[in-house]
Structure 1
Amino acid sequence: MKNIFLLLILLLTVIVPVTNYTSSSVHTKTTKFVYVKTVPEWSKNLTIYEVNLRQYSSSGSFKDFEKHLPQLKELGVGILWFMPVQPIGVINRKGTLGSYYSVKDYLSVNPEFGTMEDFKQMVKKIHKSGIYVIIDWVANHTSWDNSLITEYPEFYTKDSTGKIISPVPDWTDVADLNYDNKELRRYMTIAMKFWLKETDIDGFRCDVAGFVPTDFWEEVRPALDSMKKVFMLAEWEDPKLHNKAFDMTYAWDFHNLITNIAKGSKSVLSFDTLFKIEKNKYSTDAYRMYFTSNHDENSWNGTAYEKFGKGVKTFAVLSFIVPGMPLIYSGQEAGLNKRLKFFDKDTIEWKKDDFFNLYKILIALKKRNKALWNGNYGGEMKILKTSVDEKVLAFTRIKDSDEVLAVFNFSDKPVTVIIINNLSIGTYKNVFTKQLQQLNKNTSFKMNPWGYLLLEKQ
């Protein structure tokens, strides 16, 4: 293993962007280049899709996943995030197949999914479909049978007796890594660069990013960007992660709020408070990821149908219209309504569902309408006062000549809505029916229970 480590260093050492260099001229001059993180321009209007490969097909293979690419291209998703593709540990394994997040070898692929060459070919086909690829990266811990434990025990966190420990008591299948060790940081950086060089992926979704020191992520980002411009997603919610390391973070506060609104334990008026806090905490170039489900929520806390009931489509639409990037989890476009097993085989049932066309319309809207683009590329959200604020959320987003009006009834009763202030009068097109509608200051909207209305100004 140590020889492999040395080989990787030789193969992947590149010029680190933050460096001093000397240029030859009449007078020798030293210039310092300071790295500045920027969000990849290509991500400005995209939707992200999480791939649970194990459950995607009966085989769970890269090759069988490729068969779904035409449908994903038709759907319009822009980024595919693959849950970890590396081999899974056997020691202390949970269930029959174990957790994706118990990584046995950072530098190879899970043989249950295929070979490294299979993965590379799949990435090429995804890129040919006009879609970007990021993979899950588990930097915080490894499986107990990862060879690093025997080769580099100093990489791990130990208790007072010198015993390697888990990061969380319940995570018995993994061993915690200690980022006080500089060689660990070097190894992890080289391993991440390996995947960029060898497979041409476009970035990483970093598991429990807040468990790893922020300064490590700030070290690794310029090293990755020196190879290609990457997209970095943190499984965490902290504004400082956006400063020098990550492009997007999880909008957990939003997800918790919509869950509580669906249960009736929070008021619709809470949206105004939440988005004021978001605006104050996060810079305009910080992407926030909005979702009604993901692998953790689905397996441990319930499906989107369980959590949102008759409002499941309403909250899904909302996640596409608020400022940020929406996430679709594997199977949601097929009406997934079962909790997928996390440690065992549990194949998704693929069927035709209304959600496919709903997502397809929303993704196309996001791509074409600048008001809904991500970060600085998109328009600011302005919440409008209505005649029924305790039940209805209405807001506009405007960017250049593009404008969207969104109205949501988050109640189980029909309501008639009047926008009291700041309604931009003019002609609008209904995103779903394509019908034109003339709005004026006296316009009212009749909303069904859990109804939603999206209008594009013409």
Structure 2
Amino acid sequence: MKYRILIATLIAVIAVACQSQKSTEENSSEEQALKFPEKAKDMNIYEVNIRQYTPEGTINAFRSHLPRLQEMGVDILWVMPVQPISEKNRKGPLGSYYSIRDYTAINPNFGTEEDFKSLVDEAHKLGMYVILDWVANHTGFDHAWVEKEGYYNTDSLGNVTWPKGTDWTDVADLNYDNQEMRQEMISEMDWWLTQMDIDGFRCDVAGEVPQDFWTTAIDSLEQTKDIFMLAEWDEPWLHDAGFHMTYAWGPHHWMNETAKGHIDADSLEALIQGDIERYGNDAIRMMFTTNHDENSWNGTVFERFGEGHKAWAAWAFTVRGMPLIYSGQEAGLDKRLRFFDKDTISFDTIPHQEFYSKLLELKHSNAALHNGKWGGNLSFIEDGNNKVSSFIRKGENNQVAVITNLSNETQTVNLQAISDQPTLTDYMTGNEIKLNEDSTLELSAFQYLVVILN
């Protein structure tokens, strides 16, 4: 009898496991049937700084973090440039990632081609996508193309120049009037799709490269593989060129100015409405409180947002577009990383991982917060307080309200717009929210509420 029970139990366990595997395979098949950008409708993106991520600063050392990032809910890994860095005109001891000596090689300080391919393979097994930072506007001064006639812009004496209007003296400005260079650039990009199996590109200073190049390049690359394309620029024409997502630089700068007290919440909301009018609802905008540029040159989230860094993150991750998390943001990165030298991020403790994980899970599970045209429409609430931003994202069957005190003082807000709900529960804490009889609510400094509405 004892053995019959044991056998029956084992059969039941195997049946459950098989059903779970079948369900996983069905979900995977359903996802594979979709193509970008729809495939990314509920996704987020995580920026990986290989040099600074671990004490070793290698691809293999970073790989140990993949299971943790998967558990946190990360979907797309954007890996900063991993190619060899030019030595000529180099800035600092190690140079800029964006001064590339060879497009189709791996910086030996980071590892090998085999290491990178293994990273991509493992990320894919864990259900994550990998896009590579691509620098199409310029190369390093010791790139092999410098020897080719007409590949670069030159001064009156014929000397190769760096990009006009910048202090980027360590990079050589490419000449997009040269059709041969354009074709070589596309071939170099295609190498990463065919040899490394990456899933797309984040394109540096994309607006400085001609639109017709991007149209041709993206059309060509999509013949090789379904890819996701992110433009580091804030202009609608990049979506016309084939990019799926653009940097929300404007909204980010408005956030910084609001945090300084230069813009109030009502004005911020009006600016966001303007961004929607400018881009429409179809374009996916990348929202963030930090990235490698902001961290190194303008300050940490603690410098720019102070004790309100979580309030601002909750607001940015829900108001519009796809959320970005930068390396170490979940660990409370509290220093400006040196850009041209080694400067390791500490993961000894990861105090904010649960916070970001919870926001990412809500993005996955609630269609009102999906990206682009797949998400709910945004309506700002007349809350009677210009220190507080309140809005509702409403989809066909989902509604989410977000109320954020963007100040360091207690504020009272009117929530008549959602007072007809039987109960209000803060998704982030599980606490019940009780409105006053006049539908007002008192918010403590930098308090934020995320409420799933019926």
If the length of structure 1 is used for normalisation, what is the TM-score? 0.89
2:398 aligns with 402
Hey, what's the Cα distance between the residues in 2 that align with 1:427 and 1:220? Answer: 52
If the length of structure 2 is used for normalisation, what is the TM-score? 0.89
1:257 aligns with 254
Please give the secondary structure, in 2, of the residue aligned with 1:404: strand
Q: Give the Å deviation of 1:443.
A: 3.0
Taking structure 1 as reference, are residues 440 and 218 closer, same or farther at Cα in structure 2, changes over 3 Å only? farther
2:426 aligns with 430
Q: Give the Å deviation of 1:270.
A: 1.3
In angstroms, what is the RMSD of aligned CA positions? 1.6
Bigger share in helix:
2
2:95 aligns with 98
Tell me if 1:279 matches 2:273: no
Name which of structure 1's ranges 108-117 and 420-429 shifts more when overlaid on structure 2.
Answer: 420-429
Hey, what's the Cα distance between the residues in 1 that align with 2:290 and 2:335? Answer: 12
Tell me if 1:310 matches 2:307: yes
Q: Give the Å deviation of 1:412.
A: 1.5
- Matched to 2:88, the amino acid is I
Q: 1:419 aligns with which of 415, 420, 423?
A: 415
Tell me if 1:155 matches 2:151: yes
Tell me if 1:447 matches 2:443: yes
Q: Give the Å deviation of 1:250.
A: 0.8
- Matched to 2:153, the amino acid is T
**Structure 2 unaligned spans of 5+:** 1-34
1:357 aligns with 354
Q: 1:192 aligns with which of 175, 189, 192?
A: 189
Identity of aligned residues (%): 48
2:328 aligns with 331
- Matched to 1:198, the amino acid is Q
Please give the secondary structure, in 1, of the residue aligned with 2:445: coil
Q: Which residues in structure 2 correspond to 1:64-143 (within 5 Å)?
A: 64-143=61-140
2:296 aligns with 299
Answer yes or no: is the 8 Å Cα contact 2:211–2:241 preserved in 1: no
Please give the secondary structure, in 2, of the residue aligned with 1:269: helix
Q: 2:201 aligns with which of 195, 199, 204?
A: 204
2:15 aligns with none
Q: Give the Å deviation of 1:420.
A: 4.2
Answer yes or no: is the 8 Å Cα contact 1:155–1:184 preserved in 2: yes
Taking structure 1 as reference, are residues 211 and 284 closer, same or farther at Cα in structure 2, changes over 3 Å only? same
Q: Give the Å deviation of 1:402.
A: 1.2
Tell me if 1:375 matches 2:372: yes
Hey, what's the Cα distance between the residues in 2 that align with 1:436 and 1:267? Answer: 28
Answer yes or no: is the 8 Å Cα contact 1:426–1:440 preserved in 2: no
Hey, what's the Cα distance between the residues in 2 that align with 1:178 and 1:145? Answer: 16
Number of equivalences: 419
Answer yes or no: is the 8 Å Cα contact 1:210–1:236 preserved in 2: yes
Q: 2:177 aligns with which of 177, 180, 197?
A: 180
Answer yes or no: is the 8 Å Cα contact 1:425–1:441 preserved in 2: no
- CA offsets 1:145-201 (integer angstroms, 9 cap, x no match): 101111x23110011221110014411111000101111110111111111011110
Please give the secondary structure, in 1, of the residue aligned with 2:224: coil
- Matched to 1:394, the amino acid is S
- Matched to 1:411, the amino acid is S
- CA offsets 1:411-443 (integer angstroms, 9 cap, x no match): 121122112447663444321222455779943
